[in-house]
Amino acid sequence: ETGVTQSPTHLIKTRGQQVTLRCSSQSGHNTVSWYQQALGQGPQFIFQYYREEENGRGNFPPRFSGLQFPNYSSELNVNALELDDSALYLCASSWGLRGGYEQYFGPGTRLTVT
């Protein structure tokens, strides 16, 4: 069984640029959630995808967008990067949509915006 993987591990971008972060779900999982974890804070929910459709979104602006592919891997895209976007971005996969189902986290992508 393959765990959740994310790429790249680290990324440095300049304000105003665009970035794409990638996530491969754990084998058998069809749901992906993305979280932003600012330094010293708990993760904040960005959005969730289930079977290639967005299934809910947190309090993030539209310049945060995502995709889920038929193999259930996922991308997080951020346009017009701002300094406050510097954070650890976590991807978590799970099976189905049901309360209490554990989400399995990847190691994260550390994004630094200068």
Residue 103 near residue 53, CB atoms below 8 Å:
no
Question: With CB under 8 A as the contact rule, which of the stretches 17-25, 29-37, 65-73, 74-82 interacts with another protein?
Answer: 29-37
Q: Which one of 24, 26, 48, 93 is in contact with another protein (CB under 8 A)? A: 48
Site membership for another protein, residue 106 (CB under 8 A): yes
Cα–Cα distance measured from residue 53 to residue 41, given in angstroms and rounded to the nearest whole number: 28
The nearest distance, CB 1 to another protein, in angstroms, is 15
- Contacts (CB under 8 A) with another protein, residues 72-91: 88, 90
Question: Cβ of 89: how many Cβ atoms within 10 Å?
Answer: 24
Give the residues lining the site for another protein (CB under 8 A): 31, 33, 35, 40-45, 48, 55-58, 88, 90, 92, 94, 97-103, 105-108
